[in-house]
Amino acid sequence: MSRYPEAFLHRMQEMLGRDYEAFAASLEQPSVQGLRVNTLKTTSESFLKKTPFRLEPVPWVRDGYTFYAPDRPGKHPYHAAGVYYIQEPSAMSVAEVLNPQPGERVLDLCAAPGGKSTHLAALLGGRGLLVSNEPHPARAKILSENIERFGVRNAMVTNEMPDKLSARFPAFFDRILVDAPCSGEGMFRKDPDACDEWSPEHVTMCAVRQADILDHAALMLRPGGTMVYSTCTFSPDENEGTMEKFLARHPEFELIDIHTAEHFAPGFGEFAKTARLWPHKLSGEGHYVAHLRKTDDANGGQASDEHGGARKKSGKGKGRDGRGSSSAKVPLDAVKTYREFAGETLTVVPEGEFLLFGEQLYLPPAGLPDLQGLKVVRPGWHLGTVKKNRLEPSHHLALGLHPDEVRHTVDLAADDPQVLQYLRGDTLSVDSHKGWIVLTVDGFPLGWGKLSGGQLKNHYPKGLRWV
Which residues are designated catalytic? Answer: 232
Single residue of 73, 89, 100, 113 touching ligand SAM by CB under 6 A:
113
Q: Which is nearer to ligand SAM, 287 or 294 (CB)?
A: 287
User: Does the annotation place 110 within a ligand binding site?
Assistant: yes
Q: Which is nearer to ligand SAM, 110 or 289 (CB)?
A: 110
Q: Is 139 in the site for ligand SAM (CB under 6 A)?
A: yes
Single residue of 73, 114, 315, 379 touching ligand SAM by CB under 6 A:
114
Please count the other Cβ atoms lying within 10 Å of the Cβ belonging to residue 101: 13
Single residue of 82, 89, 100, 135 touching ligand SAM by CB under 6 A:
135
Q: How far is the CB of 179 from ligand SAM (least distance, A)?
A: 4
User: Does the annotation place 116 within a ligand binding site?
Assistant: yes
As a whole number of Å, the CA-based R_g of the chain is 23
Distance, CA of 307 to CA of 169 (rounded, Å) = 12
Which part of the chain contacts ligand SAM (CB under 6 A), choosing from 23-31, 106-114, 421-429, 453-461?
106-114
Residues paired with 356 in a beta bridge: 361
Q: Counting Cβ atoms within 10 Å, is residue 146 exposed (0-12), middle (13-18) or buried (19+)?
A: buried
Q: How far is the CB of 12 from ligand SAM (least distance, A)?
A: 20
Distance, CA of 406 to CA of 345 (rounded, Å) = 6
Q: Is 399 in the site for ligand SAM (CB under 6 A)?
A: no
Residues paired with 226 in a beta bridge: 175, 293
Q: Counting Cβ atoms within 10 Å, is residue 453 exposed (0-12), middle (13-18) or buried (19+)?
A: exposed
Q: How far is the CB of 246 from ligand SAM (least distance, A)?
A: 15
Single residue of 209, 293, 311, 408 touching ligand SAM by CB under 6 A:
209
Q: Is 162 in the site for ligand SAM (CB under 6 A)?
A: yes
Question: Helix 137-149 crosses helix 115-124 at what angle (to 10 degrees)?
Answer: 40
The DSSP output letter for 267 is P
- Separation of CA 41 from chain center: 15
Q: Is 213 in the site for ligand SAM (CB under 6 A)?
A: yes
User: Does the annotation place 122 within a ligand binding site?
Assistant: no
Q: How far is the CB of 362 from ligand SAM (least distance, A)?
A: 23
Single residue of 80, 109, 130, 157 touching ligand SAM by CB under 6 A:
109
Is the distance from CB of 456 to CB of 450 less than 8 angstroms? yes
Q: Which is nearer to ligand SAM, 110 or 255 (CB)?
A: 110
Work out the angle at residue 310's Cα, subtended by the Cα atoms of residues 107 and 356, and round it to the nearest 5 degrees. Answer: 80
The DSSP output letter for 84 is E
Q: Is 110 in the site for ligand SAM (CB under 6 A)?
A: yes
Single residue of 11, 36, 41, 116 touching ligand SAM by CB under 6 A:
116
Q: Which of 409, 407, 396, 408 is nearest to 444 (CA)?
A: 409
Q: Which is nearer to ligand SAM, 205 or 349 (CB)?
A: 205
Which part of the chain contacts ligand SAM (CB under 6 A), choosing from 48-56, 135-143, 324-332, 335-343?
135-143
Single residue of 88, 148, 179, 240 touching ligand SAM by CB under 6 A:
179
Amino acid at 320: R
Is the distance from CB of 133 to CB of 109 less than 8 angstroms? yes
Q: Is 181 in the site for ligand SAM (CB under 6 A)?
A: yes
Q: Counting Cβ atoms within 10 Å, is residue 202 exposed (0-12), middle (13-18) or buried (19+)?
A: middle
Residues paired with 178 in a beta bridge: 229
User: Does the annotation place 112 within a ligand binding site?
Assistant: yes
Q: How far is the CB of 406 from ligand SAM (least distance, A)?
A: 30
Distance, CA of 432 to CA of 60 (rounded, Å) = 44
> Which residues are annotated as part of the binding site for S-adenosyl-L-methionine?
110-116, 134, 179
In the complex, the residues that contact ligand SAM under the rule CB under 6 A are: 91, 109-116, 134-136, 139, 161-162, 179, 181, 209, 213
> Which residues are annotated as part of the binding site?
110-116, 134, 179
